[in-house]
Structure 1
């Protein structure tokens, strides 16, 4: 059985413990995780606590019967989408129809066969997993289009505005002003290119068309190249950027992944570090793995910001210390790339104390 099935949790609700034992023994045959409740109120509490993927619910119980429990589950937004299968000794049409009207997805008549119970559970767990993945995909798609609609517009708006001003006033502008405007065009163009590059790479990951080919990658060289690419931004904010990665540290990873991750992490550090601040890139190796640490003296992040940092449906869109634009997609892309490359990205941060991003990759041997 697939891991996604085995990690699913079934809640068995029945006031007769022998029935719980029987259903639990059947579920164990395919390694389903399950918990149980012997009354309706306990079942409601367990469901509200979260982590329940399917409920097997007996109809005939004292105090709150199965119909009442199902009705209360469907009234609560926190539990409304949990599928319910009724377990009933009643097989009259009226009871069955009432169960469906209350939101149940299926029913089993006692005594039931093990094969039938497992078949129903597999079907509805699969539907539950599929529905969850569909919601996640739709949320990601909505955020993707939001990025295109909003964030991609910003650099092009700047490009159009500055280039038009330069075109209309070229004969009257001083060389210094013209140079400043051209610098603005360069910055806006680079922002647009970086965003497009991240969007394209992220979309390839989501569609499964991204191909990763690990090879011998010298981290110090990639760090140098990316510091050079961001040289204008670094100089504009008078930042001290130090490359402390030893020349002998080599990762076994896709070169494009390493380059993209370093570019995004360095760009993020530059963006959120105040003028005159410091950024360090440090390399370490322990024989099996190598680590690249990007430490800045920037504004840092709260626990709430950290919790949503790598989520496409709640991505950060905070401006930099000098109002630099950004989509927040670069960090999300970096983490997804590393997850698919036997790597890992972690972060530590506190407001006002800066951030430390750590990239872990297999070492080349």
Structure 2
């Protein structure tokens, strides 16, 4: 879409005919005020802008467009009846990319319009590629950080406790049981971390798709509570389920499993010793609400907006548990991939309540 701005109707007609013959879609404005109003409703790919206009000349229109973050990247070609060097320099200083003199030469006009549209498309493609490369670099850095720190620490823990168990004559039964529990906890943490990492990488590369089916919530929740039992037991935390036996949702089962596991693990992580975590369900119109409530330390108001941002936010748990920052980010992305939404209510020292809303199975 190209916006033509000229107070001379004959010029607009000539320009319009030239460009429409080439197949371009056009917008028209008879003065600077109309031009500024037009771009608010529909952003053009290019603007052909007359310099000499009453009330608001082309220079002022260009200045305002370039100062606006929504329109500063639109290429502007000035239309002028004269090729005064001062006018040309002033136009370029204001951000114009080119100028065309009147009377218009058909081939010159079409050539310049085509060139600047192609340059704009090339800049946008380059900017998109740079963004993709930056995201890929962030993903790589995050992956290397997790492998070099979190996974290495987990394997060191497993090897150390396993080594201690190779000398049974020096260990009491109580010590053996303690080390076995620590190995079990480290194994569970390692599995949880690897599962999150693999899901996160697949999601980052677009290789994971939601395949929704009817999922019964109660058995899925109970499996995850059992899986996380050793982590909860280590902090004497009671994890209970109030999920209705008839509760079902329309979602990808693997994604939902990841969401429930991460929400429960997060609640355990930020709940002090002897605390409580409860997961419940409640049908609301066409959605099922799943809530995970804990008696934990809560979240600062200024941190609420950051908790779903993945690699940008991570904190230490009440038992000095470390995290990668991708668990809640996965929850948000997976819930939204399944047509739902996730939110949280919390306050410092008041615990947290996470809400997940997912579609109900379609009735036959």
Please say which of residues 265-274 and 238-247 is displaced more in the overlay. 238-247
The answer on 1:277 being equivalent to 2:275 is yes
Q: Which residue of 2 aligns with 1:335?
A: 332
List aligned pairs for 1:4-23, cutoff 5 A. 18-19=31-32, 21-22=34-35
Residues 1:216 and 1:171: Cα distance change in structure 2 (over 3 Å): same
Residues 1:178 and 1:96: Cα distance change in structure 2 (over 3 Å): farther
Deviations 1:105-152, CA, capped at 9 Å, x for gaps: x81215696992882685244544554444344333322332222222
Measure, in 1, the Cα distance between the counterparts of 2:83 and 2:147: 54
Structure 2 gap segments, 5+ residues each:
2-29, 48-57
| Root-mean-square deviation over aligned CA pairs | 3.9
TM-score (norm 2): 0.73
Residues 1:108 and 1:292: Cα distance change in structure 2 (over 3 Å): same
Q: Which residue of 2 aligns with 1:109?
A: 99
Aligned equivalent of 1:319, options 316, 320, 323: 316
Deviations 1:15-58, CA, capped at 9 Å, x for gaps: xx9346447647966678x9x994899778x55xxxx2552xxx
Q: Which residue of 2 aligns with 1:5?
A: none
Equivalent pair of 2:36/2:61 in contact (CA under 8 Å)? no
TM-score (norm 1): 0.73
Measure, in 2, the Cα distance between the counterparts of 1:146 and 1:97: 51
Q: CA deviation at 1:254?
A: 1.0
- Partner SS, residue 188 of structure 2: helix
Residues 1:330 and 1:54: Cα distance change in structure 2 (over 3 Å): same
Q: CA deviation at 1:214?
A: 1.0
The answer on 1:145 being equivalent to 2:144 is yes
List aligned pairs for 1:126-137, cutoff 5 A. 126-137=125-136
Measure, in 1, the Cα distance between the counterparts of 2:42 and 2:252: 42
Measure, in 2, the Cα distance between the counterparts of 1:268 and 1:165: 30
Aligned equivalent of 1:181, options 179, 182, 192: 179
Measure, in 2, the Cα distance between the counterparts of 1:182 and 1:142: 33
Give runs of ≥4 in structure 1 deviating > 6 Å: 39-44, 90-100, 111-115
Measure, in 2, the Cα distance between the counterparts of 1:215 and 1:87: 54
Aligned equivalent of 1:225, options 214, 223, 227: 223
Equivalent pair of 1:140/1:312 in contact (CA under 8 Å)? no
Measure, in 2, the Cα distance between the counterparts of 1:293 and 1:233: 20
Aligned equivalent of 1:249, options 247, 250, 263: 247
Measure, in 2, the Cα distance between the counterparts of 1:326 and 1:200: 15
Residues 1:125 and 1:319: Cα distance change in structure 2 (over 3 Å): same
Q: Which residue of 1 aligns with 2:308?
A: 310
